[in-house]
Structure 1
Amino acid sequence: MGYQERSCVVEGTRYPWMEYLLYHPARGFTWLMESNGHWVFLRPMAAGDASVVPRVSAFYEHRRYKAFQSVTAVTDAVVGEFYWKVFQGEQARATEYVAPPYSVNEDATDNEVTYTHGEYLTPEQVRDAFKLKEPLPRPRGIAPSQPNTRRAAMMKTLRWSAVWLLGLFALSAVLHARALNARVLDMQVTLPRSATSGTPDAMHFSQPFELSRDGNVRAQVVMSQAIDNAWVGVQGDLVNQDTQDVVSFYEEVSYYHGRDSDGSWSEGGQDGSVFLSSVPKGRYVLRTTTSFDPNLKLTGPQLGPVVSYRVLLTHDTPNESWFVIALVLLLIIPALSFFGANSFETERWKESNL
């Protein structure tokens, strides 16, 4: 029945919007408002229907609406018939309270205050309602009462992520329950003072031990005699007594410390470990060849370095690295979804002046 173009000026920038007055004999007067391709369907409200704390919040139909903006709205153009006298240049104080996809809108003039309840519509909903053949312009930016579709997607993502997390923890529990976690070797290695780094006289052989099934092996090197500003490297070879196949590992233990302009510092430690991901079952002997820092501090008589350490082999132990990697990968998508949903709200409320 009627059309008016209204606008407001904020910080020197004019923001226009269009309002269409509709009428239905059974439903009475309603409004369609369009701004930047966003549509809102508005129904008149009685002044006492909503509880309003001016410029703070409104409460209507068990829902709280947060104050979004308050501007001076000016009627720039008007065409058609209205149920009150409308004229170009008319001004009103327009305040909007939002609870997407709904809004409570207050228009206050010198003579009266009117309220409308709004519901956000997509261009497709408006096009279908009026049976338009051509699509309406796509929305630009984020409207005050536009629903955050990213939040719905985030909730769906969180639900599925929770399911996968439960599955991941269940799988981890099963693998822990099935793991032997058996200590198959505890060997003490002490090099003679005459030993030379990385040579056969720094080599040591264990007693035979059994791996009862295919699985990983965790090798730990623990220094029995502490090292200080030095390093010790252990080359380990698991030699299969039946096939003579060799599975090798290398683990270096180092500890350094000192003092600089920032104060005291230290790095490294007195132990280290390495995982052998898949070792066939069978009877093995561990051969170790030790390398060490030429500057390794001496203890006792200056007859050469003394290196002493333990090698611990644990068979079929749970390796948590796969679990940590899977957990991180599983949390990436929910994290991105969460930040996407919150960035939507950040963009929305950047336009608020309340």
Structure 2
Amino acid sequence: MATTNLKAFPYSEDFNCPKCHTPITLYDPEGSEFCVCTSCTSFLRFIASETAVVQKQAPRPTEKPVLKLGSVGLFRGYQFKVIAFVEKKEQGNPYAWREYILYNYEKGYANFAEYDGHWNFVAGKDFFPELDELKDKGWNFINYQENEYTLFNKYTAVTTALVGEFDWDILFEKPKTSEFIAPPQILYKEHVPNYSRAQFYLGRYAEPEEIADAFKIDVNTFPERVGIGANQPSAAAKRWFAINKFFPVIIILLAAIGFAASYISPKVPLLETTHVMERDTTKADEFKPFITPSFELTKQSALDFKINADVDNNWAEATVVLVNEKDNQSWEVTESIEYYHGYEDGESWSEGSQQTDVLLSAIPAGKYHLNVYPAAGAPPAPVTVPATTSFSADSAVVANTGGSTASYAAGPALHISATANPIIWKNFFVSLLLLCIYPAFAWYRMRAYEKKRWMNSDYSPYEDDE
């Protein structure tokens, strides 16, 4: 086992390789049980007599280590010395990565794992005691320290090359490994056959600049980063979660501003009038215009007009002109109202509405009235009735037809109301929509990033979206 609970690194010791007699340096001489000769790559084991015995021939690394054996660095509050370099791969797959074994004189071993230029600082229960409480239950997720880690990958790890010193037979073991991610962290569950209990290791994504600064080396010597790492932190996710945290507050604040404005400037009814559309007997299929009573607007405000027409399987239209009685400044709008209904194939149907709304903004204070120019659909066919029958002037036009009367129904009744300082919910929803644009964009970027990350996994939650 690694030598721990010290105040400083132990003194290194040199000995000669029993096969090629090349000097080999041990940086933790008491804690190391195996080592590899840097010259002949013999895998050596120290027996009880402290004599090095050749166990087997170790494969030589195919890549030059970025961190040299024996180099020392201060990383995340711990002094580490690099004591070994290992190349590994997935059994049956070409995916390969590299590990740098780190030794700390207080805690023991940790490592840097590098794959496609993505680095993780990985350590076990000596650095993270809570890991010892985790049990192997074949999960697809793990809850650890208030984070949920999701299964990302499963494989059997095989050592393909190595150099340096170790306290276990790394060439012998082939741990079955499961990776669980909660970026920027990753949990490794390793189970070595013939051992009853799985071991857990916690990794955290490390930027090359951070490692280079800790070990005082040139960051340009690090391998180029390819793709997205399994637990590489996402700037898009960071933005999304920051926005998601405050967005409900923004919505509540926006609504509060709207209600506060309605309290400070409450709605004020200005006009309420009903007029039956009267046909112009001098013009075919036209109605007489009419003028509403005057009303006073005490300060600049938005005006909300509600126009209701009691049309039934018909349509009506009104051109409404708001006129300032002092300077004749006017605002004109034209609105149509249609309402149809019926019964077809055993079902009733309807479409349209008998009401419409008109909103005018920033109308100056003053005295106003409305000029209304109505129109409506064709009247029903004339009905012949006795001449003695009487009709109100609002509901019919009476014509003498020589002993009988031809009755033409008047146009629909128009009901018009005007209100100052209306609550303009349209502004609220438009503002809300505009506020949603950036969060929606942030969510899309985050999701796109995560989908790209999970493309490297057989357990992607996004596979149904492909």
- TM bracket (short chain): 0.7 to 0.9
* C-alpha distance in structure 1 between counterparts of 2:338 and 2:167, whole Å: 87
Q: How many residues align?
A: 347
Higher relative contact order (CA 8 A, sep 6+): 1
2:85 alignment counterpart: 3
Q: 1:308 aligns with which of 410, 413, 428?
A: 413
Q: What are the residue-to-residue correspondences of 1:7-18 with 2, within 5 Å?
A: 7-8=89-90, 14-18=94-98
Counterpart among 92, 97, 109 of residue 29 in structure 1: 109
Change (3 A) 1:40 1:256: same
Provide closer, same or farther for how the CA distance between residues 261 and 329 of structure 1 changes in structure 2, counting only shifts above 3 A: farther
- Between the aligned partners of 1:2 and 1:50, the Cα distance in structure 2 is 29
Q: What residue in structure 2 maps to residue 206 of structure 1?
A: 292
CA distance in 1, matches of 2:179, 2:436: 37
After TM superposition, the structure 1 = structure 2 runs for residues 36-51 of structure 1, keeping only pairs within 5 Å, are 36-45=116-125, 49-51=132-134
Shift of 1:71: 0.7
Match of 1:79 among 163, 168, 177: 163
TM-score between both structures, scaled by the size of structure 1: 0.83
Structure 2 spans left out of the alignment, 5+ residues: 1-82, 384-405, 460-466
SS in 1 for 2:431: helix
Q: Cα–Cα, structure 1 residues 174 and 59, in superposed 2: closer, same or farther, change >3 Å?
A: closer
**Aligned: 1:123 with 2:237:** no
What's the secondary structure of 1:192's corresponding residue?
A: coil
> What is the percent sequence identity of the aligned residues?
25
The 1:75/1:253 distance shift into structure 2, 3 A limit, reads same
Q: Distance in 2 between matches of 1:131 and 1:36?
A: 22
Query: Is contact 1:219–1:274 with CA below 8 Å preserved after alignment?
Result: yes
1:177 pairs with one of 263, 266, 269: 263
Is the deviation greater in 41-50 or in 214-223? 41-50
Determine the C-alpha separation between the residues in 2 that align with 1:217 and 1:290.
Answer: 20
Q: Which position in structure 2 is the counterpart of 1:191?
A: 277
Give the Cα separation in 2 of the matches to 1:17 and 1:262: 71
CA displacement, residues 298-326 of structure 1 (integer Å, 9 cap, x when unaligned): 68665265232111111222222111101
Per mean C-alpha deviation after superposition, the further-off stretch among 98-107 and 280-289 is 98-107
Root-mean-square deviation over aligned CA pairs = 3.3
In structure 1, how many angstroms separate the alpha carbons of the residues matched to 2:419 and 2:193?
85
In the alignment, structure 1 residue 52 sits paired with structure 2 residue 135: yes
**Aligned match of 2:227:** 141
Q: Is the 8 A contact 2:89 2:160 kept in 1?
A: yes
TM-score by length of 2: 0.65
Give the Cα separation in 2 of the matches to 1:284 and 1:64.
65
Aligned residue runs from structure 1 range 156-305, under 5 A: 156-194=242-280, 196=283, 202-223=288-309, 225-228=310-313, 230-257=314-341, 265-293=349-377, 295-297=378-380, 302-303=407-408, 305=410
Larger deviation: 89-98 or 259-268?
259-268
- Asked if the contact 1:120–1:145 (Cα under 8 Å) also holds between the matched residues in 2, the reply is yes
Distance 1:283 1:59 in 2: 70
Query: 1:179 touches 1:318 (CA, 8 Å); kept in 2?
Result: no
String of CA shifts for 1:238-294, please: whole Å, max 9, x gaps. Answer: 22222122222221111234678997653211111111112222122211111222x
The within-5 A match list for 1:98-117 is 98-112=181-195, 115-117=200-202
The answer to whether 1:96 aligns with 2:175 is no
CA contact (8 A) 2:382 2:408 kept: no
Q: What SS class does the counterpart of residue 239 from structure 2 fall into?
A: helix
CA distance in 2, matches of 1:116, 1:101: 14
Deviations, residues 205-242 of structure 1 (Å, cap 9, x unaligned): 1222212221121111111x3331x3211111122222
Q: Could you say if the C-alpha distance between residues 62 and 329 of structure 1 is closer, same or farther in structure 2, counting changes exceeding 3 Å?
A: closer
Residue 70 of structure 2 corresponds to none
- Matched residue of 1:91: which SS? coil
Structure 2 residue identity aligned to 1:6 = K
Determine the C-alpha separation between the residues in 2 that align with 1:171 and 1:117.
47
In structure 2, the CA distance between the partners of 1:239 and 1:283, relative to structure 1 (3 Å rule), is same
Partner AA of 2:207 in structure 1:
T
Look up the match of 1:325.
430
- Over 3 Å counting, the alpha-carbon distance change for 1:142 and 1:245 in structure 2 is same
- Structure 1 residue 66: deviation in Å? 4.2
Query: Does the aligned pair in 2 maintain the 1:50–1:58 contact within 8 Å?
Result: no
- Alpha-carbon distance between aligned partners in 2 of 1:183 and 1:62, rounded to the nearest angstrom: 56
Task: Give 2:416's aligned amino acid.
Answer: V
Quick one: which amino acid aligns to residue 68 of structure 1?
Answer: F
Give 3-state SS (helix, strand or coil) of 2:132's partner.
Answer: coil
Taking a change above 3 Å as real, the CA distance of residues 238 and 340 of structure 1, as seen in their structure-2 partners, is same
Which secondary structure does the structure 1 equivalent of 2:232 belong to? coil
77-86 vs 16-25, greater mean Cα deviation: 77-86
Give the Cα–Cα distance (whole angstroms) in 2 for the partners of residues 279 and 66 of structure 1. Answer: 59
